């Protein structure tokens, strides 16, 4: 199933937030003493599933969804 064209952009944003949060939580649970640069490196090297419709994450992706990610982590 595909999302309606009316909310496709919002659906993609939600999927990006969810997948980003998942990766941040996994990274932080494995690396207790990690620094911000380590997290950015992990985000930039992770390859999202092709079905999500985007090919990579960047630091800007993290900053754009920072509030959501922080809420999920805490």
The per-residue pLDDT for range 14-42, each reduced to its tens digit, is 888 999 999 999 999 999 888 999 999 99
What local confidence, expressed as pLDDT, does residue 60 receive?
92
Record the pTM.
0.80
Residue (of 38, 67, 52, 39) closest to 3 by Cα position: 52
Give domain limits for the chain: 8-73
Architecture of the domain spanning 8-73: Orthogonal Bundle (1.10)
Predicted confidence (pLDDT) at residue 51 exceeds the cutoff of 80: no
pLDDT band with cut points at 50, 70 and 90 for residue 54? confident
What local confidence, expressed as pLDDT, does residue 35 receive?
93
61 CB neighbour count, 10 Å cutoff: 19
Long-range contacts of 4-10 (CB under 8 A, 24+ apart): none
């Amino acid at each position: 199933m595909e999302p309606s064209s009316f909310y496709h952009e919002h659906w993609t944003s939600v999927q990006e937030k969810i997948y980003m949060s998942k990766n941040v939580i996994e990274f932080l649970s494995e690396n207790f003493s990690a620094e911000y640069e380590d997290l950015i490196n992990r985000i930039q090297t992770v390859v999202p599933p092709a079905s999500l419709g985007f090919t990579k994450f960047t630091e800007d992706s993290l900053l754009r969804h920072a509030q959501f990610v922080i809420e999920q982590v805490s």
